[in-house]
Structure 1
Amino acid sequence: MSRTLYQLDGCPYCEKVADRLDELDVDYETEWVEGLHSKRDEVKRVSGQRAVPVLVDEAHGVTMAESERILEFAEQTYA
């Protein structure tokens, strides 16, 4: 079961998601992305866009962006 959170160091939205996943004791890997949107090819490949955070949860067949959507999914799925 693989979960990956794509995030940018210092991004408050990314930190909010990471903090909540940690509180829920969810195992995930972090992929740190570049500050420049033009260098976020991996994020673009998995999600179709370059913004972060992005959560990829292979067990649930989910790839999603936007912190509020990710937090809602986390509450419904992992809590």
Structure 2
Amino acid sequence: MANITLYELPGCPYCAKVIDKLDELGLEYDSIEVPRSHGERTEVKEVSGQTGVPVIIDEDHSVDGMPESDDIVEYLEETYGS
């Protein structure tokens, strides 16, 4: 089981940006697809305090519910990049 979890919505360009970075870095991750309706995104709200995606959890580095694709990409590069 991967220690990174990504909350995403298929077709979301911000999610795709994070997925591209995860793939580029060769990182394994679990993907949780959130409902289209923000009102039904209770799980992602519990972990991040908001309903937008993408959001990641990285158990190895105590990251619980990081939102914002640019922040996530920067974090992944700094943490797992060469």
TM range (shorter): over 0.9
Output the TM-score relative to the length of structure 2.
0.92
| Runs (4+) off by over 4 Å | none
Structural RMSD (CA) = 0.9
Deviation at 1:3, TM superposition (A): 0.9
What is the rounded CA distance, in whole Å, between the counterparts of 1:77 and 1:27 in structure 2?
14
1:22 matched residue in structure 2: 23
Identity of aligned residues (%): 53
Structure 1 gap ranges (5+): none
In structure 2, the residue matched to 1:62 is 63
Report the equivalent of 2:10.
Answer: 9
* Ranges in structure 2 where 5+ consecutive residues have no aligned partner: none
The offset of 1:50, in angstroms, is 0.5
- SS of the residue aligned with 1:9? coil
